[in-house]
Structure 1
């Protein structure tokens, strides 16, 4: 039975592990003729700081644009272009107590029709944005799609 992968979801935070996950996702997309969707998970502390005007939302958006520029460069370097799209979501929410990075990743995978998820493993970094590696095991356990943890 042939494996069909059309869309690979890659949740990212501000870690090197997330960047490595993108590299793997691009390789998978290239192999299967698929596209990738980058899901920027915004850390709760960053989201709250934006709400309190302590961090400029435009600066966060610019970081995401810069990250995507690097992703697009990586996709162009691949043998054959890989289409890349992006979205952002808060990892946690004070208004929606059920909002957790695991749910955000799994819900996003369903919404975009992802055929595979590539998640970063736990980061050795204590950076405020380093949260995705901590949820990788839960994504592995509960996703209905195949999951690669790198």
Structure 2
């Protein structure tokens, strides 16, 4: 029996960190190998979400920052000839206790019908903006799709 992996869409969560760019490289390689597309979801962390909700920062400013990062993701995909789509997700909510980076990633995976997930591991840098360090273990435990943690 030949157990060939078939992929249509690879989901890669990003948060603006170098580690998430490395995860994009793996997602692009998988997508290229299997003729799939990449969906990159930029996951906003607690500090940013609170700042948006309290008007300490303008939504437009956050959108510009995430757009600049996702432009880098788009360039990586274009260089490899891989189609990419992008989105932004709140990885935290002041209204729903169950919203956190891991649940935002898994919800997005279901919405876009991802076949495979590539998640960055905890960054060694400990950057305050690194949202995905809290999500990797959750995604590994609860994802219904295969997961590569890089």
Provide the TM-score with structure 1 as the length reference: 0.93
SS of the residue corresponding to residue 53 of structure 1 reads coil
Q: Which residue number in structure 2 is paired with residue 148 of structure 1? A: 148
TM-score (normalizing by structure 2): 0.93
Cα offset for 1:46?
0.5
Aligned length in residues? 148
Q: Which residue of 2 aligns with 1:115?
A: 115
Q: Say whether 1:130 aligns with 2:109.
A: no
- List runs of 5+ in structure 1 lacking aligned partners: none
Unaligned runs of 5+ residues in structure 2 are none
Is 1:105 paired with 2:99? no
The runs of at least 4 consecutive aligned structure 1 residues that moved more than 3 Å come to: none
**Residue 9 of structure 2 contacts residue 31 of structure 2 at CA under 8 Å; is this kept in 1?**
yes
How far is 1:115 from its partner? Answer: 0.3
What does residue 91 of structure 2 align with? 91
- 1:127 deviates by 2.4
1:51 corresponding residue in structure 2: 53
Deviations along 1:30-83, one digit per CA (max 9) or x if unpaired, are: 1111001111110111111122222222121112211222122111221xx211
| Counterpart position of 2:37 | 35
Aligned-residue Cα RMSD (Å) equals 1.2
The answer for the alignment partner of 1:5 in structure 2 is 7
